[in-house]
Structure 1
Amino acid sequence: MTCSEAGHNGAGRSAPNKRRWQELARGFIRASHPVPGLAVTSLVMVLAAGLGLRFGQVVLLGAAVLTGQLSVGWSNDWIDAARDRSVGREDKPVAAGIVPVAGVRLTASAALVATIVLSSLLGPRPAAALLIGLAAAWAYNLGLKATIWSGATYLLAFGALPVAPYAALPGQPWPPWWVPVVSALLGFGAHVANALPDLRADAKTGVRGLPQRLGPQAGVIVMVAALAAASVVLGTAPQVPPTAFTVTASSAGIVLAVVTAMIAVRSPHSPTAFRFTVVIAVLDVVVLLAVTN
């Protein structure tokens, strides 16, 4: 074999290996559920910056939330691998065989440990808020998703989340009561919206969480009620004079909740409704910052 032939064969072998590593990396990213994870992390960091936390604290808080979201996303696909495989979920990298179960189990565990360490660096009260929410999310993945208590885990996880940036402020104040209430309602609405496209697959595998028990019609009603209620609370609860901006933004949140419901009814198996809940969450965070500054 000539040197040129050896080089050619080496390049030929490296190309499939490179493609395999790229496919594996993309699979791990998809298995982490990047859209909701990045959305939650970004919103918490925006809230923290708006409240006046120092840059280092904002970054540390963002890192703790992001690693927590990664642990939740990866553990979801790891724990549900057999169930997803049984219904042919080709959109799930683990179920499709793109990513090994052991690899996702390892990354989920590593991200969990990282979250605990990073949260502890923020102080006891911020850490407690973050880890309570994380425990609720893991409880959902470990079995509560198949029970009527699935919605309660979202209420607790998202209700605890905004407590962390407030607790990281000097004096460690508690947030106004309506802040965790709005966050919990948004999380609950997102839970229902996220579950609606998977109702058929969940029925085949025996998942009987709250959205599955409600069914598509009642689920849409509950979803729009939760999302609209979040905007109503945000528009009326703060003890500040309403402005044209807050009234308009809160009203827009209600309108978007109705639009989200219409999308869920017309395209029940599409993730578009869930993405609209992210838009509503962004709008509500903007209003929240407007009324707290």
Structure 2
Amino acid sequence: MPARTAETGRPPRPAVAFALRWRTAAVGLLAACHPLPAAAVTLFTALLAAAAGRSLPGAAATVGAVAAGQLSVGWCNDRADLRRDLAAGRRDKPLVAGTVRPAAVTRAAALALLVCVPLSLAGGLLAGAVHLVCVAAAWAYNLKLKGTAVSWLPYALAFGLLPAFVTLGLPGAPWPPPWLTAAAALLGAGAHFANVLPDIADDLATGVVGLPQRLGARTSAALAGLLVLASAAALVVGPPGRVTAYGWGLLAATAATVLLGGRRPAGRLPFRAVMAVAGADVLLLVVQLRRS
């Protein structure tokens, strides 16, 4: 039955009905791209590019490439999970709720991936190849590795290589320092364990048995905390020179946040704790790169 307007009770005119359908689909498409994680990674890249001294055009291309890559990964994730989300009754997912069609999400993921390629290569062949490896790792997680014992590996690889994508676009194409790569990889692995925690029961019911599902919520929460703490430690003690007061404070705050998040391993608190620590890590990283 056609939708009816609240004012007249009659079906809306075709143009109005089209606009309403388009708006609903656009909202659904936005929600299906996992907007908060995508925005967080894109913002991190923008801050890193600015701190590393990338030119405005280079920084814009780098940030655009990461944004397009994140969009493609988010849409790919929701499309790949549709069958499992339907089985689990995940009405919070746009595809399950019917606010956007599967074909539209598939097309959006493909288009974002196509846009990502030239933007990635704009910073140079090596830098572009590194970022495309990051995106390929994320797609491999969505399509295959999510339900395996190496489910953590795409996160560690993609996060660990992201700083290299930024620095390889600088004159001379320098690689980032090892402590930065290690800190990013540890943070990515920790984010994976924390992000999976709220959905472990649904994942097991639908046959997803990645490493966090195999270890269980309590062990995964503890491991997420240790990985995030190790990431913060790498950022604090890795760079040359004396550790600042902010660095020691970050380590103490990270330890406290990890302990707080571990008290409720099955909820969203551990993931929010990881995101809070990641934000503090980014501030420290920007300061350190500006000083170096």
Say whether the fold is shared (TM-score over 0.5): yes
User: How big is each residue's C-alpha offset from its partner over 1:180-230, in whole Å with a ceiling of 9 and x where there is no partner?
Assistant: 111111111111111000011101110000110110111111011101111
Contact 1:224–1:261 (8 Å) recurs in 2: yes
Contact 1:126–1:167 (8 Å) recurs in 2: yes
Secondary structure of the residue that 1:95 maps to in structure 2?
helix
* Distance in 1 of aligned mates of 2:30 and 2:203: 23
* Distance in 2 of aligned mates of 1:15 and 1:114: 31
Contact 2:221–2:270 (8 Å) recurs in 1: no
* Distance in 2 of aligned mates of 1:261 and 1:66: 31
* Distance in 1 of aligned mates of 2:108 and 2:17: 24
Secondary structure of the residue that 2:94 maps to in structure 1?
coil
Same amino acid, percent of matched pairs:
39
Contact 1:231–1:254 (8 Å) recurs in 2: no
Length, aligned pairs only: 282
Structure 1, unpaired ranges of 5+: 1-7
Residue number among 276, 286, 292 corresponding to 1:289 in the alignment: 286
The equivalences for 1:50-199 within 5 A come to 50-199=51-200
Asked if 1:277 corresponds to 2:274, the answer is yes
Amino acid at match of 1:226: L
Amino acid at match of 2:278: A
Q: Which piece of structure 1 moves more, 155-164 or 18-27? A: 18-27
Partner of 2:24: 23
Asked if 1:35 corresponds to 2:36, the answer is yes
State the TM-score, normalized to the length of structure 1.
0.92
Q: Which piece of structure 1 moves more, 133-142 or 233-242? A: 233-242
Contact 1:67–1:114 (8 Å) recurs in 2: yes
* Distance in 2 of aligned mates of 1:116 and 1:207: 30
Secondary structure of the residue that 1:134 maps to in structure 2?
helix
User: How big is each residue's C-alpha offset from its partner over 1:146-168, in whole Å with a ceiling of 9 and x where there is no partner?
Assistant: 00010011111111111111111
* Distance in 2 of aligned mates of 1:128 and 1:258: 38
Contact 1:195–1:211 (8 Å) recurs in 2: yes
User: How big is each residue's C-alpha offset from its partner over 1:235-274, in whole Å with a ceiling of 9 and x where there is no partner?
Assistant: 1111121121222223222322222223x43xx2x43432
Amino acid at match of 2:275: V
* Distance in 1 of aligned mates of 2:63 and 2:11: 42
State the TM-score, normalized to the length of structure 2.
0.92
Contact 2:258–2:270 (8 Å) recurs in 1: no
Amino acid at match of 1:283: A
Contact 2:184–2:231 (8 Å) recurs in 1: yes
Partner of 2:254: 253
Please report how far the alpha carbon of residue 55 of structure 1 lies from its aligned counterpart in structure 2 after TM superposition: 1.4
Please report how far the alpha carbon of residue 18 of structure 1 lies from its aligned counterpart in structure 2 after TM superposition: 3.1
Please report how far the alpha carbon of residue 276 of structure 1 lies from its aligned counterpart in structure 2 after TM superposition: 2.5
Please report how far the alpha carbon of residue 15 of structure 1 lies from its aligned counterpart in structure 2 after TM superposition: 4.3
Contact 1:126–1:168 (8 Å) recurs in 2: yes
User: How big is each residue's C-alpha offset from its partner over 1:46-69, in whole Å with a ceiling of 9 and x where there is no partner?
Assistant: 011011111111111110000000
Contact 1:84–1:95 (8 Å) recurs in 2: yes
* Distance in 1 of aligned mates of 2:71 and 2:55: 24
Contact 1:231–1:251 (8 Å) recurs in 2: no
User: How big is each residue's C-alpha offset from its partner over 1:116-138, in whole Å with a ceiling of 9 and x where there is no partner?
Assistant: 11101111121122111111100
Partner of 2:3: none
